Structure 1
Amino acid sequence: MTDTPRVEDRNAQFTAQRREQLRSAADRRADIQARIDAGRLVPIGGGRYRVDDPGNWDNGEVWVLTEGEVLPQHGLDTSTGRAALYTRVPAWHELGTVVPEGESDIDRVLQLGGIDFEVARRPVLYQNTLAGATNVLADQFVTVRQDTGAGLGVVGARYEVFQNRDIFEFLQDLVANHDVVWESAGALREGRRVFVCLRLPQTVVIDAAGINDQIVPYVAAVNSHDGSSQAQVVLTPWRIECGNTERFALRDAAARWGVRHTRNALDRIAEARRTLGLSVRYFQTFAAEQELLARTEVSIAAFHQLVEQLWPAPQPGASERTRINHRTRLETLDRLYASNTVRLGRSAYAAERAITEYADWKSPIRPTGSLRGRNLAARATAVMEGSNDEVKSRAHRQLLSLTRR
């Protein structure tokens, strides 16, 4: 008899933990002071707390004290009086419009997701003095949300607005299916960022060494209206339904395609298809590689050897701080590897997961410039920009080489 594949639905894990947190109000109120005393909730002023709890979904997030309860910030746009979210599955924050059977009509999803607004470019006006004449700043424009009149950002003359409906149609054309059921859609930060997400029919089954995982792939499009980032399309195991899951989706993307806001950029469907590899063969290749890793045993000594290749030991004469940092890294990676081996065994699959988790969320980071003091934002930016992609790619290549021995 064949066992039923274990579905690795990170969305379900995340939602279950969130709901448990939100529904344990009395216990949480009693626990707040203990968490503060233990340093797991760090007051940062204005009734806000930063979570300092490694291993928790919320580590680094900002929570807000509301009516005696500390609640996580979902980041959804609420500028129209309701949370801008449509989803097929109830979200952890229990906001938005839930349609279990899903919607396939773009206009309906735009309305339910609170993103049925358009964005226009308007000239930037300024006054040299408070009483002076109004002047126009050359080649600079404000992006303005038409339904609320909110200014979203300042952009250059070449910036092309991608309307929310354009993103839906682009994703629809990308998967070559005009009758798709949309998983989620919504807006963050007063509409500065919008997202659209759909589930692909293909799934990745890693059926090796008793793991029998089924990874559910989603394709998501994330677009900004404030000039802060490219429009991106990613393959990811995350269904986006808030600011957290948007970050996770970008962090854990198996493939991504991005394009600047310029004229005719969204016409490049063929290029996006090639880059993302939206085909059964792509998923089959991915599953085959992961199965090889899952079937390959990796001793703790071999894991340490790989770690030393990725992060070489300090040279003789190195400072005490450097030696301490190296030792701390090894201890952290050992813990991550041990936690992954509980279910995955001492395998290359577990080793890759440990290294990826460390590279994205445990490695030291020193925010500079506008991100100074904003560790989580800096880390999310680094993940989006692929700052650690080379380390993860090297680890993957090295681990695959072990499967051929």
Structure 2
Amino acid sequence: MSHEIEIHADGTAAFVSANTPGWHRLGVVAPGPMTVPEALKLGQLADWNVRMEPLVAAVAGSKCLECSKPLGDKHDDMCVTGDHEGQDDSRIVDEHDTTHAVEVPNNRAVVRTHPVTGLPEVLSVGGLDYTPISNEEMGQTLQAILDQSGAIVDTAGSLRGGLDTFITARLPKGIMVGGADPVELNLAGFNYFRPGKSSEFLITPVRVVCANTQAAALYNFRSRYTVRHSPNAPQRIIEAREALKITFDYRDAFADEAEKMIKAELTIKEFERLCREIWPAPDPEANSAVKDRDDALTGTLMQIFKGETNENIKGKKTRGTHWSGYQTVVEYLDHHAPVRGEDADSGRIRAERALVGKARDTKELAFNLFQVA
């Protein structure tokens, strides 16, 4: 399914949203703001008890484990293993009779208690130093931030069969760009139960008019804090929480920089030059396909930059400014940049890419490039 929301055998979906359902129309719609515990419960993320268990492999041997008769021979008359229910009485030793459990060294199974069945379920495999961060731990950290900001939990859910979980919150006190353009901040926590993926928190400004995630960060500021799944993860979470509290001061700094960008004119020639720092021109010897893609890119960027989208913000002229140059890049990445995958997956791919993919880093680069000294 393109949404990749976890769907259980009983037909329920591991997703909850406040007030407004998700585009996929799955899960539960809460009637109003949620606390983190409420979101975890309604989104079926609570009480997973994610833990590490010994990992074993079923290995076939050459002899019956009970009577030691070799593969293909008959079991001893007294061998219970040879009593195959529902089979003939040939009592021939087969592979199942020789299979024994062998512990896998240096690896353990990442196991959860399934939220619907209550049975243990293997999510993935991790190394000896992998310590899962529970959804409750992520939620507690998020709640500690929300307690000071007045934010409300907006969505929570499970993706890819429980490998990824998320909690997002909207910060009610937004910022004003140009005194008129409302920009709110979104706080998102992502938890990953698979090797090589660190859990992370993101603080991103969002334009309310189109709900696009804009991960614009100031130079030397980061809106992303990763928490490695290791024995010292709880301490790392505390550090991330403190760091994210400090970044709330960044709203005013973002607004100040945006004001300067709106007031500064940007020529087409300068816009083209800055875009080339993001997307360098192809080599003159490049093949025609590469050049065609570059022509499509530059053509779309120019169309957006000159178009009505960047005409004004509630009556204030912004077209032809550094702000509209930055917004052109954002709009291209969110709505026009090609995606790989089926058409039905395009929306999900774009949304995910905007939050945690390369597009977010490109937006950061664009914000820095279009800033006014």
Deviations 1:24-61 (A, max 9, x none): xxxxxxxxxxxxxxxxxxxxxxxxxxxxxxxxxxxxxx
Deviations 1:168-217 (A, max 9, x none): 11112234549864222222222222111222243111125xxx111121
Q: Could you say which residue in structure 2 is the equivalent of 1:200? A: 171
Report the alpha carbon displacement of residue 102 of structure 1 after superposing the two structures with TM.
2.1
Counterpart secondary structure, 2:32: coil
Structure 2 residue 141 is the aligned partner of structure 1 residue 170 = yes
Distance 2:157 2:172 in 1: 22
- Asked if structure 2 preserves the Cα contact closer than 8 Å seen for 1:235 and 1:253, the reply is no
Counterpart secondary structure, 2:3: coil
Structure 2 residue 6 is the aligned partner of structure 1 residue 77 = yes
Partner of residue 138 from structure 1, selected from 88, 102, 105: 105
Structure 2 residue 319 is the aligned partner of structure 1 residue 345 = yes
* Equivalent residue runs for 1:67-216 within 5 Å: 73-79=2-8, 81=10, 82-91=12-21, 92-104=23-35, 106-116=36-46, 117-129=48-60, 130-131=95-96, 132-146=99-113, 147-177=118-148, 181-208=152-179, 212-216=180-184
Distance 2:216 2:282 in 1: 32
* Bigger mean CA deviation after superposition, 133-142 or 167-176: 167-176
Structure 2 residue 260 is the aligned partner of structure 1 residue 292 = yes
- Asked if structure 2 preserves the Cα contact closer than 8 Å seen for 1:234 and 1:253, the reply is no
Report the alpha carbon displacement of residue 283 of structure 1 after superposing the two structures with TM.
0.4
Deviations 1:241-262 (A, max 9, x none): xxxx9xx76x747511111111
Q: Could you say which residue in structure 2 is the equivalent of 1:355? A: 329
* Bigger mean CA deviation after superposition, 159-168 or 127-136: 127-136
Q: Residues 180 and 350 from structure 1, CA distance in 2 versus in 1: closer, same or farther, beyond 3 angstroms?
A: closer
Report the alpha carbon displacement of residue 361 of structure 1 after superposing the two structures with TM.
6.8
Query: Match of 1:336, as an amino acid?
Result: I
Report the alpha carbon displacement of residue 237 of structure 1 after superposing the two structures with TM.
4.7
- Asked if structure 1 preserves the Cα contact closer than 8 Å seen for 2:145 and 2:244, the reply is no
Distance 1:128 1:193 in 2: 31
Counterpart secondary structure, 1:144: strand
Q: Residues 398 and 182 from structure 1, CA distance in 2 versus in 1: closer, same or farther, beyond 3 angstroms?
A: closer
Computed over aligned residues only, the root mean square deviation of the Cα atoms, in angstroms, reads: 3.5
Query: Match of 2:122, as an amino acid?
Result: G
Instruction: Give the aligned length.
Output: 313
Distance 2:146 2:241 in 1: 8
Report the alpha carbon displacement of residue 349 of structure 1 after superposing the two structures with TM.
1.4
Distance 1:216 1:161 in 2: 31
Deviations 1:213-244 (A, max 9, x none): 111212111101233521111113569xxxxx
Deviations 1:106-146 (A, max 9, x none): 44332212112222222221123353221010121222221
Structure 1: stretches of 5+ with no match in the other structure:
1-61, 63-72, 240-244, 368-373
Query: Match of 2:13, as an amino acid?
Result: A
Distance 1:351 1:107 in 2: 41
Counterpart secondary structure, 1:305: helix
Distance 2:16 2:356 in 1: 28
Report the alpha carbon displacement of residue 148 of structure 1 after superposing the two structures with TM.
4.1
Counterpart secondary structure, 1:118: coil
Distance 1:174 1:387 in 2: 26
Report the alpha carbon displacement of residue 319 of structure 1 after superposing the two structures with TM.
4.3
Distance 2:236 2:147 in 1: 14
Q: Could you say which residue in structure 1 is the equivalent of 2:80? A: none
Q: Residues 178 and 283 from structure 1, CA distance in 2 versus in 1: closer, same or farther, beyond 3 angstroms?
A: closer
* Equivalent residue runs for 1:2-401 within 5 Å: 73-79=2-8, 81=10, 82-91=12-21, 92-104=23-35, 106-116=36-46, 117-129=48-60, 130-131=95-96, 132-146=99-113, 147-177=118-148, 181-208=152-179, 212-227=180-195, 229-237=197-205, 252=215, 255-269=223-237, 271-273=239-241, 275-276=243-244, 278-314=246-282, 316-339=284-307, 340-343=309-312, 344-358=318-332, 387=358, 391-400=362-371
Report the alpha carbon displacement of residue 365 of structure 1 after superposing the two structures with TM.
7.9
- Asked if structure 2 preserves the Cα contact closer than 8 Å seen for 1:174 and 1:269, the reply is no
Report the alpha carbon displacement of residue 160 of structure 1 after superposing the two structures with TM.
0.7
Report the alpha carbon displacement of residue 272 of structure 1 after superposing the two structures with TM.
1.8
Q: Percent identity?
A: 25
Normalised by the length of structure 1, the TM-score is 0.66
